[in-house]
Homo-oligomer: A and B are copies of this chain.
């Protein structure tokens, strides 16, 4: 089912296993961080996420709701999450709603909706 692809992707992100996480993305995928801009292509996403993920000692993205339609060939998954990041003994968290379009078993579009100021304010507390 399409949601399994997303769950596996998120699990890999939580393990900070970016190589495995990005193996769930199509080569020409679009990653749209809605209020902050888009990145196109699996390699560009990997390059962008590598220094980002390296900042954190732990990542946890608990999903409160996840719904899907379609199948592995052509599906849509949406989820509601709290993206949590730890540095030392400090956690920050960001409420997120994500959209994932699945094509042939991979994520061709990953689009996250969140409030930019909430994110920037949280990130600033870590530095």
Chain A contact residues, CB within 8 Å of chain B = 34-35, 65, 67-69, 76-80, 95-99, 101, 111, 113-118
For this chain, the copies found in one complex come to 2
* Chain A contact residues: helix, strand, loop or mixed: strand
- Taking a contact as CB atoms under 8 Å apart, the answer to whether A99 and B99 are in contact is no
Q: Which of A77, A78, A114 has the most CB of B within 10 A?
A: A78
Are A116 and B115 neighbours in the complex by a CB distance under 8 Å? Answer: yes
3 closest A-B pairs (Cβ-Cβ)? A97-B97, A35-B115, A78-B78
Asked if B115 and A114 make an inter-chain contact with CB atoms under 8 angstroms apart, the answer reads: yes
Residue of B76, B80, B114, B118 touching A111 (CB-CB under 8 A): B80
Q: Which one of B34, B78, B95 contacts A65 once the chains associate, using CB atoms below 8 Å?
A: B78
Known contacts: A69-B67, A80-B78. The answer to whether A113 contacts B97 by CB under 8 A is yes
**Contact between chains at B116 and A99 (CB < 8 Å):** no
Q: Who on chain B is nearest to A78 by CB?
A: B78
Instruction: Return the contact of A76 from the options B34, B67, B117, B118 (Cβ within 8 A).
Output: B67
Q: How far is the CB of A65 from chain B (nearest CB, A)?
A: 5
